[in-house]
Structure 1
Amino acid sequence: MAGHAVKHDYHLVDPSPWPFVASVGAFLLGVGAVGLMKGLVGEDNPLYIFYGEGQWLGFLIGLLVILITMFGWWGDVIKESRKGDHTPVVDIGLRYGVILFIASEVMFFVAWFWAFFEYAIFHDVRLDPGLASWPPAGVETFDPWHIPLMNTLILLLSGTTVTWAHHALQHGDRRGAKLGLIATVILGACFSALQVVEYTQAGFAFSMADGGNLYGSTFYMATGFHGAHVLIGTIFLAVCLVRLLAGHFTPEKHFGLEAAAWYWHFVDVVWLFLFAFVYVTFQ
Structure 2
Amino acid sequence: MSAASGKTPAYYVPEQSKLPIWMAFALFLTVIGTALMLQKGAGMTDSHLGIWVFFAGALVLAATMYNWFVIVAKENMAGMNSAQLKASFVYSMKWFIVSEAMFFAAFFGGLFYIRLFELPWMAGEGAKAVTGMLYDGFTYTWPLLTNPVPSEVPGPREAMHWMLPLINTIILVTSSVTLHFAHHGLIAGHRSQLKKWLVATIALALVFLCLQAYEYYEAYAHLGLTLNSGIYGSTFFILTGFHGAHVILGTIMLIVMAVRVFKGHFTANDHFGFEATAWYWHFVDVIWLILFVLVYLI
TM-score by length of 1: 0.85
CA distance in structure 2 between the partners assigned to 1:269 and 1:94 by the alignment? 22
One-letter identity of the residue aligned with 1:189: L
Paired residue for 2:60?
65
- Mapped to 2, the partners of 1:126 and 1:136 lie a distance apart of 15
Aligned to 1:48: none
Q: Which residue of 2 aligns with 1:30?
A: 31
Aligned equivalents of 1:7, 1:60: Cα separation in 2: 46
Cα separation, partners in 2 of 1:60 and 1:230, compared to 1, 3 Å: closer
Q: Out of 89, 94, 106, which is 1:111 matched to?
A: 106
Q: Which residue does the alignment assign to 2:159?
A: 141
Structure 1 stretch 261-270 or stretch 55-64: which is displaced more? 55-64
Contact 1:164–1:177 (CA<8 Å) still a contact in 2? yes
Which residue identity is paired with 2:160?
A: F
2:77 counterpart residue number: 82
The AA in structure 2 aligned to 1:154 is I
Higher relative contact order (CA 8 A, sep 6+): 1
C-alpha distance 102-55 of structure 1, shift in aligned 2 (>3 A): closer
Displacement of 1:88: 1.6
1:46 aligned residue: none
Q: Say whether the 8 Å CA contact 2:219–2:226 is kept in structure 1.
A: no
Structure-1 residue corresponding to 2:287: 270
Contact 1:169-1:177 within 8 A present in 2 as well: yes
Asked whether 1:223 is paired with 2:240, we answer yes
Task: State the aligned residue count.
Answer: 266
Q: Aligned-pair distance for 1:227?
A: 1.1
Q: Aligned-pair distance for 1:208?
A: 8.4
Identity %: 38
**Paired position in structure 2 for 1:11:** 12
Query: CA RMSD for the aligned pairs?
Result: 2.6
- 1:256 matched to 2:248: no
Unaligned regions of 5+ residues in structure 2, if any? 1-6, 125-137, 148-155
Distance in 2 separating the partners of 1:54 and 1:279: 34
Q: 2:215 aligned with 1:205, yes or no?
A: no
Q: Distance in 1 between the 2:252 and 2:55 partners?
A: 20
Which stretch shows the higher mean deviation, 28-37 or 110-119? 28-37
**In the alignment, is residue 186 of structure 1 matched against residue 194 of structure 2?**
no
**Cα shift at 1:28:** 3.2
* Contact map agreement 2:11 2:84 (CA 8 A) in 1: yes
- CA gap 1:102/1:272 in 2 versus in 1, 3 angstroms: same
1:9 to partner: Cα distance: 3.4
**Cα offset for 1:202?**
1.7
CA contact (8 A) 2:33 2:49 kept: no
Residues 64-121 of structure 1, C-alpha deviations (whole Å, 9 max, x = no match): 2222111111211111111112222111110111111111111111111111111222
Q: 1:95 — aligned with what?
A: 90
**1:164 Cα shift?**
0.4
SS at match of 2:205: helix
Q: 1:142 to 1:53 in 2, by over 3 A?
A: closer
TM-score by length of 2: 0.81
Secondary structure of residue in 1 paired with 2:84:
helix
* Alpha-carbon distance in 2 for matches of 1:207, 1:196: 13
Relative to structure 1, the CA distance from residue 206 to residue 12 in structure 2 (aligned partners, 3 Å threshold; closer, same or farther) is same
Q: Quick one: which of 128, 151, 169 aligns to 2:186?
A: 169
Q: Identify unmatched segments of 5+ residues in structure 1.
A: 1-5, 43-50
